[in-house]
Structure 1
Amino acid sequence: MNVIVGSGNPVKVRAVERALASAGYEPHVTGVAVDSGVSEQPYGDAETREGARNRARAAFDGCDLAVGIEGGVAPRDGGLWLVMHAAVTDGDDLAYGEGPALRLPDAIAARVEAGEELGPVMDDVLGEDDVAKKQGAAGALTGGIIDRESALRHAVAGALGPFVTEHY
């Protein structure tokens, strides 16, 4: 199975590889940088899902499946939440999935609401570089119980359902 991920981020590529491997596939997964067509810091579930869809469609190039993954923030239940959306296409059909959502601490949410991107805020808070390519905000905010890759893998798994089962 030849799969293209609409991102050069190795965490996103590994998330797709592991999602498909857990379903019994031995995929050849390639990451390709594409434009998400949304804000650098997607705001809201609709914009984050749109970014995932745009990435999947832009990445599709004669492969079996193309995957788009987008992380964003969304106001929910009186707070600002980290959200992860995925889209998968075979060139004809398109399906969506969502990973776990995590409420951002108030101090982090305030900085994001003021216009900063979550990735650099997390780098600053943790005193590290490239947190988004490592544990991600998900890892930091759950004490390592989940990390960015596993959170994204679950979003991808939800979007893969129609392509890997006959239940749809």
Structure 2
Amino acid sequence: MIALGTTNPAKIRAVQAVFTTTEIKALSVSSEVSAQPFSDEETVEGAINRARNAKVEANVAIGIGLEGGVVETDRGLLLCNWGALLASDCEPIVAGGLRIPLPEEFVAPLKSGRELGEIIDEYAKKENVRQNEGAIGILTGGYISREQVFTDIVKALIGQYKQLKSCR
């Protein structure tokens, strides 16, 4: 069994797409970071904390955490996504996903403390975008979904894990 530190349906589907024969226990656990992570460092930390908290709560050998955030760059705010895998006696394994710029109109609301999920819902005139196609799905016209981004991250996590023989 693998513990997943979220109950977000898009993230659950991403993990299920990779671990097709393994039971996944999705848990609502704290990321211990801001509701809207605002850097790579904070987003990675949130993913690691979710993986650790899920692993401990479920009392299993492997925990996975997936976290979305934004990062400020010279080109403006970019969407970022990170994942972490924690296994017994191993350092956290991390992987990140693709990035795209966020519309300029998102900057002020994000900097004032609003979450991207709320902003993208208003922008797309939809509800619960974060649980479905995600901001990436809206901003790419459906060419890439949140599930796809997190599926790639989970593949990168398990691929690294399998290469680290000292972790098993």
TM exceeding 0.5: yes
User: Quick one: distance in 2 between partners of 1:91 and 1:13?
Assistant: 22
**Deviation, structure 1 residue 165:** 3.6
Of residues 61, 75, 78 in structure 2, which corresponds to 1:78? Answer: 75
Query: 1:161 matched to which residue of 2?
Result: 159
TM-score by length of 1: 0.90
Could you report, residue by residue, the CA deviation over 1:69-113 in whole angstroms, capped at 9, with x for unpaired residues?
110000123210110000001132120000111110111233212
Could you report, residue by residue, the CA deviation over 1:99-146 in whole angstroms, capped at 9, with x for unpaired residues?
111110111233212321100000111111101011100100111111
User: Quick one: distance in 1 between partners of 2:11 and 2:53?
Assistant: 16
Q: How does 1:120-131 map to 2 (within 5 A)?
A: 120-131=118-129
Query: RMSD in angstroms over aligned alpha carbons?
Result: 1.6
User: Quick one: distance in 1 between partners of 2:73 and 2:5?
Assistant: 27
Determine if contact 2:9/2:132 at 8 Å carries over to the other structure. no
Could you report, residue by residue, the CA deviation over 1:38-71 in whole angstroms, capped at 9, with x for unpaired residues?
0000010000000000000001133242100110
Tell me the amino acid that sits aligned with residue 7 of structure 1: T
Of residues 31, 48, 51 in structure 2, which corresponds to 1:36? Answer: 31
Q: The residue matched to 1:145 in structure 2 has which SS?
A: coil
Q: For structure 2, list consecutive stretches of 5 or more residues without a partner in the other structure.
A: none
Count of aligned positions = 163
Query: 1:19 matched to which residue of 2?
Result: 18
TM-score by length of 2: 0.90
Determine if contact 1:97/1:158 at 8 Å carries over to the other structure. yes
Could you report, residue by residue, the CA deviation over 1:3-40 in whole angstroms, capped at 9, with x for unpaired residues?
1100111211111111234xxxx111120000100000
| Percent of paired sites with the same residue | 35
Tell me the amino acid that sits aligned with residue 67 of structure 1: I
Q: How does 1:19-168 map to 2 (within 5 A)?
A: 19-21=18-20, 26-60=21-55, 61-93=58-90, 94-165=92-163
User: Quick one: distance in 2 between partners of 1:50 and 1:140?
Assistant: 26
Determine if contact 2:10/2:133 at 8 Å carries over to the other structure. no
Distance 1:166 1:91, change over 3 A: closer
Q: Quick check: 157-166 or 91-100, which moved more?
A: 157-166
User: Quick one: distance in 1 between partners of 2:69 and 2:62?
Assistant: 23
